[in-house]
Chain A
Amino acid sequence: MKQQRLYILIGAAAAATMGWCGMAVAQGQGLEQLMAKSSNWATQAGDYANHRYSDLKQIDSSNVGQLQVAWTMSTGVLRGHEGSPLVIGDTLYLHTPFPNNVYAVNLKDQSFKWKYEPKQNTDVVPVMCCDTVNRGLAYGNGKILLQQADTTLVALDANTGKVLWTAKNGDPKIGETNTNAPHVFKDKVITGISGGEFGVRGRLIAYDLNSGKKVWTAWSTGPDQELLVDPQKTMTWTNGKLAPVGADSSIKTWKGDQWKLGGGTTWGWYAYDPKLNLVYYGTGNPGTWNPAQRPGDNRWSMTIFARDLDTGMAKWAYQMTPHDEWDFDGINEMLLVDLTIKGKKVPSLVHFDRNGFGYTLNRESGELLVAQKYDPKVNWATSVDMKTGRPIVDKKFSPGTTGPDVNVKDICPAALGSKDQQPASYDRKSGLIMVPTNHVCMTYEPFQVEYTAGQPFVGATLTMYPTPGSHGGMGNFIAWDAAQGKIVWSKPERFSVWSGALTTAGDIVFYGTLEGYIKAVSTKDGKELWKFKTPSGIIGNVFTYEYGGKQYVGTYSGIGGWAGIGMAAGLTGNTEGLGAVGGYKDLAKYTTLGGSLFVFALPDSARTASR
């Protein structure tokens, strides 16, 4: 489709500068221009760099206490609502969990412009490990991109909802599904694959935005040519320096051909640096949770990759958790920020891993700069050896050391990590990162498994519970100094904060809770300034936009995801839901299933007063 510039352009630029967007859809503009306008929320993170930050400041720390519901909408679907809608000009694009409906909503009167309701085979649902979530849509070049659960990637005409092209990305019969949001970077759509609990072999895939043609596939495990690494040029941090990964960097870290079921799935949030033309993302757990069955470092599971957007070739890779024994997937978002470290300005990448360490690397070179615990109760490793880049594992909490059929107790964090997919937010004003976290520990008993295509390939029984010897809750919301690797403030929460944060120029940060509160706290000290109870638990990401001169803040309300799987799927056994059901059973006291969008704004009186 080459007519991107032909879409309705009438007065879009003028409307935006005047803060009046009632008549024009700004879809003809390039994504980068749309992101630059803070009235839009044009990507899942608001930008390429995963900042989740907005310059809007009509709502600020002095008036946020007066925030009111502006409008609401049912999504028509229950179960877990992750991600957020997009807003471009006068249109909000809403998505749902399976069956992955898409609605274009006219912000003028909240009427539907169009609806897309895909028909997917329900057989995909039982092979989704941790609820039927979908992390949202992408926009690019007049198209809305939807990554369906059944692995179909769909490009819709943003104006009409008409299907422009589709591409098939995997096979649900062997446990391959999708939960990730597709990401549009320049002229490509980047997507991944889920199924780390089914022996799926992970990869990142790039499609041409206009034609839907596959451009490259970069596997997480296997031979060099399939990994898209250059043994001499792709670098990794080792022995206190960057060195080439060398030949067969993946297959020599697996026994036999186990890499074929090797995991390393790619269901998180990706980032892009246009200057370096590099895409950043993390890979998930290695195949089977029973470490005794897969000796070796199991590369490149649990790895941060930096790849050239055009070719997919890896510039550098860094494996955080070699030979995983805890299911600490490395898929969490990469925040691209520029930091001053030891007096030097560094183009940095910050990543809060499931394993409980907050990493800062030089995003250009792959040099490891900081690796510190962002929850002081993390105990599976005492620290990260900054020379080798490897964690120093405490044998007491190592199911790979104790072996199969031994139940290892009080490992912190639990498998769902000190943080899971819920994305953090970078406060551009203070330079701090606002991080929604889990505060959960576990028991872990690995056992022997055998692979059958389409059947779970897990091999561990888990239970989860609030971190012992702490405040009794299962979460914290923290502010993190990524240059120092230090917690600046920490606000305890009853449950894991499974909602993506949003920081604004109004010196406030928003997030949702599993009980269903959306909260605003001060970026300075974490003091709670406002909260509102939505009908269901919040696992979606808070977003903001401006329309008709008014700032709005919104979130999905709909419990589910891994933490809420018990409620979403009707499970009751403590060890079900990969151990999450027992840990989060108290959620039933506070909330129940839902599926709605809540949007808030200040009353006119408060806006007048703040001027």
Chain B
Amino acid sequence: MKRFLMVLALGLSSASVADNASIDLYQVQDGTKVDAKTLMGWKTWRALACERCHGAQQEGLVGPSLIDSLKVLSKEDFHTTIMKGRPEKGMPNFDTSQMVTQNWEGLYAYLKGRSDGKIQPGHLYPIESK
């Protein structure tokens, strides 16, 4: 089934983040249990229905694959994109969203974990504190 592909080459210009910089960003166990901040990032992803354009597994639909984009997008550019949007390409600005302004770093961590292949797609749970 062909979808309406508005291929967005998100952030291909700013490939400066080192590969291992994301290790401290998030903690993950068994692929589905994450730290509190990353969990809020995933909840923000879910609440804003990002999967509608970027795919349930961040694989890309109308919007670009975030698995690919997060390999090259700097944290600063990620912040700019999510806050200001790319209205000409159909990406809304989320700077009026309380969840995004509070949790954008967690969202970045979550997406980085997905892009790194460390966090599994789908439902996430908190790391049990014992």
Using a CB–CB cutoff of 8 Å, the interface residues on chain A facing chain B are 122-123, 125-126, 447-450, 452-459, 461, 568-570, 573, 575-576, 593
Chain B residues numbered 13-52 whose CB sits less than 8 Å from any CB in chain A: 43, 46-49, 52
Q: Are B43 and A576 in contact (CB under 8 A)?
A: no
Out of A125, A126, A455, name the residue touching B48 (CB < 8 Å). Answer: A455
List 6 A-B residue pairs with CB atoms under 8 Å apart, sorted by A's residue number: A122-B4, A448-B43, A450-B48, A453-B92, A455-B52, A576-B56
Is A461 within 8 A of B94, CB to CB?
Answer: no
The smallest C-beta distance from B44 to any residue of chain A, in angstroms, reads: 9
Give Cα distance in the complex from A264 to B94, angstroms.
Answer: 26
The yes or no answer to B62 lying at the interface (CB within 8 A) is yes
Q: Are B4 and A455 in contact (CB under 8 A)?
A: no
Considering the chains assembled together, what is the distance between the CA atoms of A450 and B40 in angstroms?
Answer: 14
Q: Which of A126, A453, A456, A457 is the one whose CB lies under 8 Å from B4?
A: A126
Is the pair B1, A455 in contact by a Cβ cutoff of 8 Å? Answer: no
C-alpha gap A447/B45 in the complex (Å):
12
Asked whether any CB of chain A lies closer than 8 Å to the CB of B3, the reply is yes
Q: Name the residue of chain B whose CB is nearest to the CB of A452.
A: B92
Question: Is A568 a contact partner of B99 (Cβ separation < 8 A)?
Answer: no
Inter-subunit contact A450/B99 (CB<8 Å): yes
**A593-B47 Cα distance, complex, nearest whole Å:** 32
CA–CA, A123 to B57, complex, Å?
22
User: Provided the pairs A452-B94, A576-B56 are in contact, do residues A570 and B99 lie with their beta carbons within 8 angstroms?
Assistant: no
B125 to chain A, nearest CB (A): 10
| Neighbour of B52 across the interface among A456, A573, A593, CB < 8 A | A456
Q: Taking A461-B123, A573-B56 as contacts, is the C-beta distance between A452 and B1 under 8 angstroms? A: no
Extra inter-chain contacts (17) besides given A452-B48, A455-B52, CB under 8 Å: A123-B90, A126-B4, A126-B52, A126-B53, A126-B62, A447-B46, A449-B47, A449-B48, A452-B92, A452-B97, A453-B92, A454-B92, A456-B49, A456-B52, A461-B123, A573-B122, A593-B1
Pairwise interchain contact B1-A450, C-beta atoms closer than 8 A:
no
Question: Contact between A447 and B47 (Cβ–Cβ < 8 Å)?
Answer: yes
* Distance A284 CA – B84 CA, assembled complex (angstroms): 33
Beyond A448-B43, A570-B1, is A455–B56 a contact (Cβ under 8 Å)?
no
Q: Report yes or no: A448 in contact with B4, Cβ–Cβ below 8 A.
A: no
Residues of chain B whose beta carbon lies under 8 Å from any beta carbon of chain A: 1, 3-4, 43, 46-49, 52-53, 56-57, 62, 90, 92, 94, 96-100, 122-123
Which residues of chain A have C-beta atoms less than 8 A from B48's C-beta?
A: 449-450, 452, 455
In order of increasing CB-CB distance, the 9 nearest A-B pairs are A570-B1, A456-B49, A573-B56, A449-B47, A450-B97, A455-B49, A122-B4, A450-B99, A450-B47
CB <8 Å contact, A448 and B56: no
* Nearest chain B CB to A191 CB, angstrom units: 25
Across the two chains, which residue of chain B brings its CB closest to A449? B47
State whether A459 touches B1 (Cβ < 8 A): no
Contacting residues, chain A, for B52 (C-beta < 8 A): 126, 455-456
Q: Which residues of B contact A455 (CB under 8 A)?
A: 48-49, 52, 92
Given the known inter-chain contacts A122-B4, A125-B4, please indicate yes or no for A448 contacting B47, CB distance below 8 A: yes
Contact of A569 with B1 at beta-carbon distance under 8 Å, contacts A447-B43, A450-B47 already known: yes
Q: Nearest chain B CB to A87's CB is how many angstroms away?
A: 32
Q: In the assembled complex, which residues on chain A have CB atoms less than 8 Å from the CB atom of B96?
A: 452
**Whose C-beta in chain A lies nearest to the C-beta of B46?**
A447
For B1, B43, B52, the residue with the greatest tally of chain A CB atoms inside 10 Å of its CB is: B1
How far does the alpha carbon of A202 sit from the alpha carbon of B62 in the complex, in Å? Answer: 27
Q: A126 to B92, alpha carbons, bound, how many Å?
A: 14
**Which residues of chain A have C-beta atoms less than 8 A from B43's C-beta?**
447-448
A178 to B53, CA, bound (A): 21
- Least Cβ–Cβ distance between B55 and chain A, in angstroms: 9
Min C-beta distance of A587 to chain B, whole Å: 14
Q: Residue B98 contacts which of A450, A568, A576 (CB distance < 8 angstroms)?
A: A450
Please report the C-alpha to C-alpha distance between residue A454 and residue B62 in the assembled complex, in whole angstroms: 14
State whether A568 touches B49 (Cβ < 8 A): no
A456 and B92 CA atoms in complex are apart in Å by 12
Complex CA gap A295/B45 in Å reads 24
**Nearest CB on A from B108, distance (A):** 18
Quote the shortest CB–CB distance from A524 to chain B (angstroms): 42
Contacts A450-B97, A452-B97, A576-B56; A459 near B4 (Cβ below 8 A):
no
Chain A neighbourhood of B122, CB < 8 A = 573, 575
Residues of B close to A447: CB separation below 8 A: 43, 46-47
Which single residue of chain B is at the shortest CB-CB distance from A79?
B1
* Cα(A453)–Cα(B94), bound, Å: 10
Interface centre among A454, A455, A458 (most CB of B within 10 A): A455
Residues of A within 8 A of B57 (CB): 573
Tell me whether A570 and B47 are in contact (CB under 8 A): no
Closest to B61 in A: A126
CA distance A123 to B46 in the complex (A): 22
In the assembly, what is the distance between CA of A179 and CA of B123, in Å?
32
A222 to B78, CA, bound (A): 39
Chain B, Cβ-Cβ closest to A290: B47
Nearest residue, chain A, Cβ from B98: A450
B97 nearest CB neighbor, chain A only: A450
What residues on B are CB-neighbors of A570 within 8 Å?
1, 3
Chain A's nearest CB lies how many Å from the CB of B103?
11
Which residues does chain B contribute within 8 Å of A573, judged by CB atoms? 56-57, 122
Q: For B47, what are the chain A residues with a Cβ–Cβ distance below 8 Å?
A: 447-450, 459
Q: Can you name the residue of chain B whose Cβ is closest to the Cβ of A570?
A: B1
Q: Chain B residues near A593 (CB, 8 Å)?
A: 1
Complex Cα distance, B52 from A450, in Å, reads 15
| CA distance in complex: A576, B4 (Å) | 18
Whole-angstrom distance from the CB of A37 to the nearest CB of chain B?
A: 41
Residues from chain A with Cβ under 8 Å of B98 in the complex? 450
B109 CB → nearest A CB, Å: 19
Compute how far the CA of A458 lies from the CA of B49 in the bound complex, rounded to whole angstroms.
8
Of chain A, the residue at the smallest CB distance from B53 is: A126
A457: chain B residues at CB < 8 Å are: 49
A573 to B4, CA, bound (A): 19
Q: B31: shortest Cβ distance to chain A, in Å?
A: 16
Cβ–Cβ < 8 Å partners of B53 in chain A: 126
Interfacial chain B residues near A569, Cβ < 8 Å: 1, 3
A560 → chain B closest CB, angstroms: 10
Chain A residues contacting B46 (CB-CB under 8 Å) are 447, 461
Instruction: Give Cα distance in the complex from A573 to B120, angstroms.
Output: 14
Q: In the complex, A593→B4 CA distance in Å?
A: 18
Name which of B3, B46, B47, B48 has the most chain A CB atoms within 10 A of its CB: B47
Q: How far is A126 from B49 in the complex, measured between Cα atoms in Å?
A: 12
A575 contacts across to B, CB distance below 8 A:
56, 122
Q: CA A123 – CA B3 in complex, angstroms? A: 11
Chain A residue at minimal CB-CB distance from B99? A450
Q: How far is the CA of A122 from the CA of B48 in the complex (A)?
A: 22
**Please, which residue of chain A has its CB at the minimum distance from the CB of B4?**
A122
